[in-house]
């Protein structure tokens, strides 16, 4: 009888051990799944922030000519963008995530880059002395895309920056307001 009791106790202890091990495996699997889900959420949030981060096109500069400034310098009678003070050779950066849709000579804009932004808007960078991106290239906020210059219709070196609803001339919006809606103070 004692032997049967000892055997039953050993079997009961073994069953308890198996149950404890199974519970530990389930708990470890649940924790691993929770950690994987937390990492996925963090990765999605980081990607959302990356896509929504904007920077000024020129670091440490200021707006030297405002939007809609009137005058005979512009064929439309007013300035369709803003000018950032920038000596020739100053690095020019993409203001946000997007795809380069145009590069090269842009008439009065001189050498230019046009980017279709992740939010569907277009940004244009004009009067460049050198272009460092190609059509179809993906860019991120802060990535150098060109260097400033004085090509096209200019009175001196600077960066001409526009925000547009479409890629073509005439669809301009206030670039300062556009940048500010994305957290950039200019």
- The pLDDT score that the predictor gives to residue 7 is 87
Residues marked active site are found at 158
Question: Rounded CA gap, 147 and 136, in Å?
Answer: 19
- The pLDDT score that the predictor gives to residue 80 is 85
- The pLDDT score that the predictor gives to residue 29 is 92
**Residues in the chain where the model's pLDDT stays below 50:** none
Cβ atoms < 10 Å from Cβ of 97: 20
Among left, alpha and beta (phi > 0; psi -120 to 50; other), residue 26 is alpha
- The pLDDT score that the predictor gives to residue 169 is 65
142 neighbors 164 (Cβ within 8 angstroms):
no
SS3 120: coil
- The pLDDT score that the predictor gives to residue 168 is 77
Q: Angle at CA 101, nearest 5°, toward 100 and 107?
A: 110
| 31-67 residue pLDDT tens | 999 999 999 988 888 877 777 789 999 999 999 887 8
């Amino acid at each position: 009888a004692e032997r049967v009791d000892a055997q039953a106790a050993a079997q009961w202890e073994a069953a308890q051990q198996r149950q404890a091990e199974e519970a530990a495996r389930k708990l470890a699997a649940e924790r691993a799944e929770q950690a994987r889900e937390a990492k996925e959420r963090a990765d999605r949030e980081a990607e959302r922030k990356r896509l929504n981060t904007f920077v000024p096109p020129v670091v440490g500069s200021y707006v030297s000519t405002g939007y809609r400034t009137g005058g005979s310098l512009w064929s439309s009678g007013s300035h369709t963008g803003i000018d950032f003070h920038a000596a020739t050779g100053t690095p020019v950066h993409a203001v946000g995530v997007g795809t380069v849709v145009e590069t090269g000579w842009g008439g009065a804009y001189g050498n230019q880059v046009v980017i279709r932004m992740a939010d569907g808007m277009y940004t244009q960078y004009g009067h460049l002395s050198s272009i460092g991106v190609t059509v179809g290239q993906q860019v991120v906020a802060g990535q150098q895309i060109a260097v400033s210059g004085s090509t096209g219709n200019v009175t001196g070196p600077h960066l001409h920056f526009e925000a547009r609803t479409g890629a073509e001339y005439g669809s301009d919006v206030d670039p300062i307001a556009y940048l500010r809606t994305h957290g950039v103070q200019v």
